[in-house]
Amino acid sequence: MPCTTYATLEKRKQWKSYGMWSKKYPEKHKIATKKYREKVKYEAYCVYSNPPRCKKCGINDLDVLAIDHINNDGHERRKDFKSHSSFYKNITKYKPNDLQLLCMNCNYKKHRNGGIL
């Protein structure tokens, strides 16, 4: 049996097992999922600033930081991803240089200023 097929079968077994676990312990699953999403997002933020902070004002509160599309094409680009996690994982993997880390205030001010930071 080729390695890839074996690996796929192993992965399916793991997912089946995880699916059973998550149904048995829905609260633990919810917490684990939240932790995983936060980890993926944090790793993506670190691509642009480590530790993560707003490029404009320097605030480092993770609750108000967000990825900004420098060319203001975020609406179109987000359609390429089925979830926030897949978007963040793509950032960590490919490190696109047309994104930046801004806080919500600076992002809004950029929007109010015609897309110019």
Would you say 29 or 56 has its CB closer to Zn ion?
Answer: 56
Interface residue with Zn ion among 7, 9, 20, 57 (CB under 5 A) is 57
How far is it, in rounded angstroms, from Cα 3 to Cα 9?
10
Beta carbon of residue 56, minimum distance to Zn ion (angstroms, whole number): 4
Q: Is 99 in the site for Zn ion (CB under 5 A)?
A: no
With beta carbons less than 8 A apart as the criterion, state whether 79 and 36 touch.
Answer: no
| C-alpha separations of 87 from 2, 51, 70 in Å | 31, 20, 16
Binding residues vs Zn ion (CB under 5 A) = 54, 56-57, 103, 106
